[in-house]
Structure 1
Amino acid sequence: MITNRLVKNSLLVGHKVLRSRSSLGLGALITPRSCFNNTNNINNINKSMLLTNTPSTSSSSSSLLGYCTATAKTTSSSLGDKMLSITRDSKYASLTEKDVEEFRRMLGDTAVINGKEDLDGYNTDFMNQFKGSSQLVLRPKSTEQVSSILRYCNERRLAVVPQGGNTGLVGGSVPMYDEIILSLSSMNNILAFDEVSGVITCEAGCVLQTLEEYLHPKGYTIPLDLGSKGSCHIGGNAATNAGGIRLLRYGSLHGNVMGAEVVLANGTVIDLMNTLRKDNTGYDMKQLFIGSEGTLGVITKLAILTPAKPTSVNVALLSCSSFEQVKQLLVEAKKMLGDILSAFEFMDRPCIDLVLAHHEHSHEPFDNKSPFYVLIETSGSNETHDMEKINNFLEDIMNRELVIDGSLASDSKNVSQFWTLREGITESLGKAGAVYKYDLSLPIDNFYAIVEQMRDRLKGTSANVCGFGHVGDCNLHLNIWTPGQKYSRDMLKNIEPFVYEYTSKYRGSISAEHGIGAKKVSQLHFSKTHESIELMRNLKNAMDPNGILNPYKVIPSSPSST
């Protein structure tokens, strides 16, 4: 057994583990920080950084990777070996000056934005893939105002795009053409918090990090952590059923959202703001809106169950010689860490090389390079108990030679360094060239094979392939990048539809956490059966018969599209 005791905040570790592996890196198995709040230290990828570092796409290449300029009646985007043609639906009315004046009367001048320069940020998506041509942004301050807007738009057949922090990756929160943008950014009030149940009630425009900062001194935390937490809105998180690194510990928003208030396309306000965990009175209607990406209704308020904030957090970085070892580590981590396991992230070696090349504050984690790396986080409330569990886990995996090297973070600086290697990947990819991104969920036995097969497919090309993600919940981020090059239709043909066919073959999901948006509409059939898509379409037609809410998104326009 490992013998350990705390002496002046240092953990003395028995020689058995140290001798089993000569290089443990970064001070070896020394004491982790206790009560460390990593909100401000974990690398936060914000909107402006990603827009700056992502290769821009000019209008002359607007047909690539779903990039859309809505200046013509038909928009073409290259998705795989087919051209996806999106035509503006003639059933929608065009905005008039009379409409603008009516909105000014409803909301006041400051809540109506129609200056061209002011509209650019709202019209362009987070990844610079899509650019609409909306002439109007509305910023209501209450549910009643949202209801008035939608009632008017429904009567006039004016299409509307609900927009939160606009940090999505599939073009779901920007117009394809001239749809009115309904921004929830002014609805950002925290309405109540029950310190007994842990339920927070807030408006949809609250920024995720703001909620975290509000809850922190009260001893609670939001059950969701995203790289874009400084910009994204909780309403948008719910509308897209955002995932992130905490899903392994706390589950998805389908389980953590207790109640919601939603405005339907015709302006009807649906009050589903239950704050109790048990309610077995018929259909759980709020679930329809979580993950619907604003196509069925506009979320205006939420009641969210928040867990107690961990007071003892440990982060370990491990290296492995094979993905089979990564799988074995996951099994052992679930068995031995159980209730305190909060993150299990993996990165292959190309990911580490990318971060080292493009991130100023990154460092080689160990003396020897390895094919795979695993970042494990535990979160609990008893430091002694947690240390005993993680020490037993580390001793076990060392003795069984499931890892090559390993290190336990000793302080907040080490924690930040470890998380930079994981969360710095997306930023580094943005600096590396044209990037083809895929957000997949796959059975663990077929999880990494797609990365290896993609490398084989792209041999002889300039493309590089890497894989990383939330292996604890089977979510793979597959990325292909071509250094110093622009997006290429020929390269895309080498990738698609293979990546979707592989995913479908093993009954995976073509969008594990990013959603469908506009970008993946024509690929929906790889994850949903024809009957499922028809049921989705029937729900949409019943709840939004005029189709004004977020058109051209999520659901294929007709059966022939599937």
Structure 2
Amino acid sequence: MSITSLFTTILKSDQILGPDDLSHRYHHIWHMDQPLNALCVLLPETTQQVSEIMKICYAQELPIVVHGGLTNLVGSTETTGDEVVISTERLNKIEETDTASRTMTVQAGVILENIHNAATEKSLLFPLNFGAKGSAQIGGIISTNAGGLRVLKYGMTRQLVLGLEAVTADGTIISSMKKIIKDNSAYDLKQLFIGSEGTLGVITRAILKLEEAPQSRNAAYIAFDEYEDVVKFLKYMDSHLAGKMSGFELIWKNSYQQMTSVTDAVKPPLPYDYNYYVLVEALGSDQIKDQEEFQQILENALENDLILDAVMAQSPSDIEWFFRIREDVNNLVDFMKHDQHFDISLPIPLIGSYIKERYETLALINGVEQVYAFGHVADGNIHFMIGKENLSNDLKKKIDHCIYGGLKEIGGSVSAEHGIGTHKKDYLELCRTKEEISLMRSLKTLMDSKDLLNPGKIF
């Protein structure tokens, strides 16, 4: 009996893709030239179908990897060829937008940008935002507890999920689809699945927390030469904007130069004369009033020598231009022979010196060709993108040790928002104690005793 024949009683023929049908499938959106290696790909359309799939896999002891938008950056969607892949692409319905409770009920395969658009139609906002919004699916976003550009104001994904439905390894459906914010009725079980990278269950549906759509949006690029001044300005802006600041992105000089020198569409708002560039965003309720206030705050900062230079967006198209610079990391990757990505987290006051030391050390590693840093400095999350001349494991390890080497001593993390996957599991002990890891393993064993869900990931 073939593997695919196991599922013919619960799925239609077009929901089952065998090994011969996988030439157009892949394990990551950046590796479309590498055909997917798997036993089969299944395309369920309901939670019940996912449950039936899981029951069969549990009985047959078939490992399972879940595929969403395939934008994950730590190897969480990689396969070895021995797995059944469950794709959530047909679980793509927005079931309800409730304007009174300010919630949206969605299936796991809904793309983030479609959630944004549906919320906007109802004068609401789903604040989670990042560069891969046009591909990333909400199930994967929840399973990795994604962050993005507005964590400062609205929090990580787990702060934006009110209800959740997931299927465990044996096919049990765990459903807590509630629209309420406050629920202290014992354990908050949905938090087990949020951020667990598909190792504890398959997320199928969720209720998302929405906000009233802002009526104003302002942004500016600000220039600095000293990192300490960036931190002072963060406190200054946060206090003067009185809760309106929604983004505070820091870009190092060489990163800013590369991001703005590729095409005219991303020309530099400020000249290349400074060491640091900050992109600030504020959301409010009155465009004219808020723009005047935003401008006055920046002018006062200039007059008091808090900043060296600034340029403020004068239109929505300017704001899109400003954010395109920060979001389009392809302007960095496209010029690398091979690339390696990092999303470390560390205390805000230490970021300047830590990144400076990494730049200096990476420059001494033979095989490292480019080093770019940028990130969400207001929540302590800095991204590195490193170009290298080859894919040798030796070079990878040297770069890993350089980036991660000092994080344990300063209370940092090897993953701020991307997760652990396969790429970071060797470094988990740098940011989690032995006792924490032991408890995580116990949870994994309890919920997935046969180790079928995303095996080899995290641990």
> 2: distance between equivalents of 1:368 and 1:144?
56
1:520 equivalent among 410, 414, 424: 424
> 2: distance between equivalents of 1:325 and 1:155?
60
Residue 253 of structure 1: how far off its partner (Å): 1.8
What code does the residue aligned with 1:181 have? V
Instruction: Specify the alignment match of 2:80 in structure 1.
Output: 176
Question: For structure 1, which segment, 511-520 or 408-417, has the greater mean C-alpha deviation from structure 2 after superposition?
Answer: 408-417
Q: CA separation of 1:315/1:232 partners in 2, compared to 1, >3 Å: closer, same or farther?
A: same
1:406 equivalent among 304, 307, 310: 310
Instruction: Specify the alignment match of 1:464 in structure 2.
Output: 370
Q: CA separation of 1:494/1:160 partners in 2, compared to 1, >3 Å: closer, same or farther?
A: closer
Matches for 1:56-95 after TM superposition, within 5 Å: none
Matches for 1:285-300 after TM superposition, within 5 Å: 285-300=189-204
> 2: distance between equivalents of 1:459 and 1:217?
49
Q: SS in structure 2 opposite 1:226?
A: coil
Deviations 1:401-455 (Å, cap 9, x if unpaired)? Answer: 1222111111233223222321233442332332222110110121122221122
Question: For structure 1, which segment, 185-194 or 295-304, has the greater mean C-alpha deviation from structure 2 after superposition?
Answer: 185-194
Question: For structure 1, which segment, 436-445 or 489-498, has the greater mean C-alpha deviation from structure 2 after superposition?
Answer: 489-498
Confirm or deny that 1:260 pairs with 2:168: no
Deviations 1:379-402 (Å, cap 9, x if unpaired)? Answer: 111224423431332122111212
Residue 149 of structure 1: how far off its partner (Å): 0.3
> 2: distance between equivalents of 1:200 and 1:367?
42
Residue 115 of structure 1: how far off its partner (Å): 4.6
Deviations 1:273-327 (Å, cap 9, x if unpaired)? Answer: 1111111100001011000011001111100111111110011111111111111
> 1: distance between equivalents of 2:130 and 2:33?
21
Matches for 1:161-560 after TM superposition, within 5 Å: 161-367=65-271, 369-460=273-364, 461=366, 463-482=369-388, 485-554=389-458, 556=459
Question: For structure 1, which segment, 332-341 or 415-424, has the greater mean C-alpha deviation from structure 2 after superposition?
Answer: 415-424
Q: SS in structure 2 opposite 1:122?
A: coil
> 2: distance between equivalents of 1:297 and 1:498?
34
Aligned length: 457
Q: CA separation of 1:400/1:429 partners in 2, compared to 1, >3 Å: closer, same or farther?
A: farther
Q: SS in structure 1 opposite 2:406?
A: helix
Deviations 1:444-491 (Å, cap 9, x if unpaired)? Answer: 121122221122223455533221000111100022224xx3334454
Residue 119 of structure 1: how far off its partner (Å): 4.7
User: Does structure 1 conserve the Cα–Cα contact (< 8 Å) formed by 2:63 and 2:455?
Assistant: yes
TM-score w.r.t. the length of structure 1 is: 0.78
Q: SS in structure 2 opposite 1:152?
A: helix
Residue 231 of structure 1: how far off its partner (Å): 1.1
Q: Gaps (5+ residues) in structure 1?
A: 1-95, 557-562
> 2: distance between equivalents of 1:206 and 1:394?
39
> 2: distance between equivalents of 1:303 and 1:275?
7
Residue 101 of structure 1: how far off its partner (Å): 1.2
Q: SS in structure 1 opposite 2:405?
A: helix
> 2: distance between equivalents of 1:159 and 1:394?
55
Deviations 1:241-300 (Å, cap 9, x if unpaired)? Answer: 010002111111222110001111101111111111111100001011000011001111
Higher relative contact order (CA 8 A, sep 6+): 1
User: Does structure 2 conserve the Cα–Cα contact (< 8 Å) formed by 1:438 and 1:479?
Assistant: yes
Q: SS in structure 2 opposite 1:343?
A: strand
Residue 191 of structure 1: how far off its partner (Å): 1.3
What stretches of structure 1 move > 4 A for 4+ residues in a row? 127-132
> 2: distance between equivalents of 1:311 and 1:356?
29
Q: CA RMSD in A?
A: 2.0
User: Does structure 2 conserve the Cα–Cα contact (< 8 Å) formed by 1:312 and 1:386?
Assistant: yes
Matches for 1:115-194 after TM superposition, within 5 Å: 115-116=19-20, 118-124=22-28, 126=30, 133-194=37-98
> 2: distance between equivalents of 1:537 and 1:493?
25
Q: SS in structure 2 opposite 1:503?
A: coil
Q: Gaps (5+ residues) in structure 2?
A: none
> 2: distance between equivalents of 1:490 and 1:283?
44
Q: CA separation of 1:551/1:494 partners in 2, compared to 1, >3 Å: closer, same or farther?
A: closer
User: Does structure 2 conserve the Cα–Cα contact (< 8 Å) formed by 1:351 and 1:467?
Assistant: yes
What code does the residue aligned with 2:105 have? T
Q: CA separation of 1:116/1:519 partners in 2, compared to 1, >3 Å: closer, same or farther?
A: farther
Question: For structure 1, which segment, 339-348 or 376-385, has the greater mean C-alpha deviation from structure 2 after superposition?
Answer: 376-385
Q: CA separation of 1:433/1:285 partners in 2, compared to 1, >3 Å: closer, same or farther?
A: same
Deviations 1:200-241 (Å, cap 9, x if unpaired)? Answer: 111111111111111112101112112111111111110100
What code does the residue aligned with 1:503 have? L
> 1: distance between equivalents of 2:58 and 2:331?
40
User: Does structure 2 conserve the Cα–Cα contact (< 8 Å) formed by 1:131 and 1:176?
Assistant: no
Residue 498 of structure 1: how far off its partner (Å): 3.0
Instruction: Specify the alignment match of 1:75 in structure 2.
Output: none
> 1: distance between equivalents of 2:29 and 2:427?
20
Q: SS in structure 1 opposite 2:248?
A: strand
Max Rg structure: 1
Q: SS in structure 1 opposite 2:301?
A: helix
User: Does structure 2 conserve the Cα–Cα contact (< 8 Å) formed by 1:297 and 1:549?
Assistant: yes
